């Protein structure tokens, strides 16, 4: 029994914040999952990675594309922004508010870049298909 207690204490020390974040984000992840954004566990993992192991805008873009290829980027980023906002508003959060603000700022940039990527993709389709009526023509 003492070994089990020691193992639980060690796990709480090593992974306590990850477990706490997973539990805290569960309602928002369930709501987003029910709305078709993605799998609850993938949403929770993405959020935890964003706040605990944030590696920048490019890595966030690649991570979201890899985990949610079938979901529009805007919907995943909206979930992340909502979760980050909830953590910023929470008085019990043990996360650094400056880091959360930085991730929030990057999520806004990611949302804008995602919209731009969609527009460029649509423009490319118009150019490739030669579709008329947009005031754009191929050379």
Answer whether residue 132 shows pLDDT above 70: no
Phi then psi for 126, rounded to 5 degrees?
Answer: -65, -45
**SS3 per-residue string spanning 57-124:** HHHHHHHHHHHCCCCCHHHHHHHHHHHHHHHHHCCCCCCCHHHHHHHHHHHHHHHHHHHHHHHHHHHH
Place of tokens 């298909």: 129
CA distances from residue 66 to 40, 86, 100 in whole angstroms, order as listed: 15, 25, 23
Q: Look up the pTM and report it.
A: 0.76
Q: What is the tens place of the pLDDT at every residue in 19-34?
A: 778 778 899 999 999 9
Q: When comparing pLDDT for 30 and 1, which is higher?
A: 30
Answer whether residue 8 shows pLDDT above 60: yes
3-state secondary structure at position 136: coil
First and final C-alpha spacing in the chain: 76
Mean pLDDT of 37-47: 94
Q: When comparing pLDDT for 36 and 15, which is higher?
A: 36
Q: What is the pLDDT of residue 137?
A: 57
Contact 76, 38 (CB under 8 A): yes
Cα 121 to Cα 133: distance, rounded to the nearest angstrom? 17
With CA atoms as reference, report the closest residue to 22 among 59, 53, 55, 49: 49
Domain residue limits, the chain? 2-129
């Amino acid at each position: 029994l003492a070994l089990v207690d020691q193992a639980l204490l060690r796990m709480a020390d090593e992974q306590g914040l990850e477990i706490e974040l997973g539990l805290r984000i569960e309602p928002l992840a369930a709501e987003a999952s029910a709305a078709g954004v993605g799998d609850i566990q993938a949403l929770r993992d993405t959020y935890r990675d964003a706040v605990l192991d944030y590696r920048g805008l490019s890595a966030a873009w690649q991570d979201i594309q890899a985990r949610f290829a079938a979901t529009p980027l805007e919907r995943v980023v909206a979930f992340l922004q909502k979760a980050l906002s909830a953590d910023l508003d929470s008085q019990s959060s043990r996360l650094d508010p400056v880091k959360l603000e930085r991730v929030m700022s990057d999520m806004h940039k990611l949302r804008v870049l995602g919209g731009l990527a969609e527009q460029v993709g649509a423009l490319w389709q118009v150019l490739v298909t030669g579709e008329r009526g947009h005031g754009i023509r191929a050379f």
